[in-house]
Amino acid sequence: MISAVLYGRNDSYGYNLHKRAALSINCMSEVLTEPDDELLFVDYNTPDDFPTFPEAIQDTLTAVAKERLRILRVRPSVHERFRSKSHLIALEPIARNVAVRHSNPRNRWVLSTNTDMIFVPHQGPSLSKYVRDLPRGFYHLPRFEIPETLWETFDRQDAIGTIDMIREWSQIAHLNEIVLGNEFIRFDAPGDFQLMERDDLFRIHGFNESMLLGWHVDSNIAKRLHLIYGETRDLMNRVYGYHCDHTRQVTPCHRKDSKSNDLGVFVDNVVQAECPEQALTWGCVDDEIEEIRLSNTRNRVYLNAIKACLPNKMTVPTYSEYVNHSYNKVSYDEAHVLPFLADIFVNAPPGIRLGWIGCNPKMFGMFASIWPDINPGGEILALEPFGGEKLSAQNLTNNLEELASKVDAFVFDYKATPDSATSVEKQSILAELRYAFIELAQKEQALSPAIPRRFVVVNAIHNPFEQITNAYLNTARTPFSSRIRQGFVVKVSEQTSAWADRMQVGNAGQKDGSVIRTLGSSSGLVTYGPYSPIIKGKYRVELQIATRKLLRGNRVKEWLQGPAKIKLVAGDQVLAKRYLKNKELYDGKISMQFSCNQKSFLEVKVWTTGAHDFEIRNIETHRVV
């Protein structure tokens, strides 16, 4: 009978979105009582790594709502072709047309509405019975406002109770004011209840997809249907519509200076019902639109896949160390990391191609076994390891260029072992992996794709790879236990040679924001890092140092050459070293030049004898030639 059309995205648009949406969806589901009735929610342009909005709030939805709800996911890749035409990130006419295209053809009516509306039939719980025998045409309702404090008192899980409560409170609080509009919309804010014949919408090619700036989409469709029928009818004698007001917080569309579609072009001057310019394309007819039912969500698939891959339960906790002496010696347990790695891709578009660069066959095997479940139709193209055991993969390549050209996302598996710091072979393998990351990241920077590719690094924490990922990616500070760093490459203009915030502190140093300070009279290593990639050439490193005070009576014997030392290191090679005199510490700027004859990773180390209390405000590198 009725296909109710809603749209939105997984964000925080307007005050208390999750509650008013759950109230609305749950209450609408109760008044749709025919077997073919459905709620179509178009999740428009939610980021690929997030679940859809209904999935995110599914624990607040009733069993009836979950049964009625069909989620149609419009990915950011679809929105990309509209992005330059609008400041908005959710486009109403596109979303509504997708819903109409995918609506149940057995239903006569399409109800275009929003996720803040609650419909209250005058008698009984059913809206469907009231529209079964309606004459042909299209129908509007006046919108009655519910103050925010009032609707916040409703129990989102008690839909019938909420409808009954609104019946009572609408009279107690004198809410039922009818605001009239012009003849073809009948009432102000017509877009919250527009009941239209499904056949009519297909005949006139849906909502006008040129209206991408916000506002008046409802008035446009009303004007076009009015041209067909010559009147706009209402259902006031059968049902009332109530709107959960949400204007405490000013949203982009409700700003007083917000852009809007031209009322003259799209309403006043409309003279035909059809939109012939979009006759063959409306509703994203050529795009792959995913349909999701809450009975089989991605998170449920994720749980089942993890359980199948890890049949043996953990019986006792494991231990790891995140301390100075464990630096560059951190490994991981594959069974522990797998759920965190899979979590990144569980909401990705189905059928993506994943590039895998790593040297741990066990991790690869476990992840590859669950990949078909969490990403149906997806493929993994693996780079042949730089050393060690081969990966059991059907798609292998030894060509980094080929891998870069064929995949949609990258995983770098950087498994160190406790002896990695002393194993020359292992260090060589890990260094090659870091260089592969840098090469692919630089390629991505050069391409600057409209939709960037995700870079995921396993175990890039508390080792040289952490500084490299921080240099090239916009990463979140994920917990150590996850062993994951992930994000998208920064633009070249955003990549900086200033290193202070990427340095690690030693036993004689501490961080205060991006400033590194000595620990009073403690002697030893102040700071080290950031393992920045360099190629063959000549360089200059500059340090900005400020002496806070001379520690009088310090009994720590100064080095013969001076109270502080700087060393520049690339692997096992010392590129330059410098002992600092008292005067240099007070001058504040230290400059050192060095040459490198091959690609490597630069590490800056600063020591103190404890004779001076100083701070390092910045470290920069510049290539001379």
Task: Kindly state the tokens that stand for 262.
Answer: 């031209």
- pLDDT, position 556: 44
Give the CA angle between residues 359, 364, 368 to the nearest 5°.
Answer: 155
Dihedral (CA of 212, 215, 218, 222) sign: negative
Which position has the token pair 């994720």? 302
* Orientation angle between helical segments 361-374 and 334-345, nearest 10 degrees: 40
Res 611: pLDDT? 80
C-beta separation of 392 from 429 below 8 A: no
CA dist., res. 344 & res. 347, Å (int)? 7
pLDDT of residue 423: 67
Select from 194, 190, 213, 205 the least CA-distant residue to 90.
213
* Pairing outcome for strands 109-112 and 2-8: parallel
DSSP tag of 367: H
Q: Give 124-178 as a DSSP string.
A: SS-SHHHHTTPPSS-EE--EEEE-HHHHTTS-TT-HHHHHHHHHHHHHHTT----
CB 328 within 8 A of CB 462: yes
| pTM exceeds 0.85, yes or no | no
User: What whole-number distance in Å separates Cα of residue 277 and Cα of residue 164?
Assistant: 46
The Cα–Cα gap between 374 and 350 comes to 8
For 10, half-sphere exposure in the C-beta direction (CA atoms, 13 angstrom radius) is: 19
Residue 559 has what DSSP assignment?
Answer: B
Domains and CATH numbers, the chain: 2-288 (3.90.550.10), 298-494 (3.40.50.150), 500-623 (2.60.120.260)
Name the amino acid, one letter, at 507. Answer: N
CA distance 264 to 441: 49
Closest by CA position to 70, among listed 231, 254, 245, 290? 290
User: Would you state the pLDDT for residue 256?
Assistant: 61
The segments of the chain whose pLDDT lies below 70 read: 249-257, 387-389, 393, 417-423, 492-498, 548-561, 571, 625
What was the pLDDT predicted at 561? Answer: 65
Specify the amino acid at residue 280: L
Contacts of 521 (CB under 8 A, 6+ apart): 551, 554, 556, 610, 611, 613
Q: Supply the pLDDT for residue 418.
A: 56
H or E, element range at 39: strand 38-44
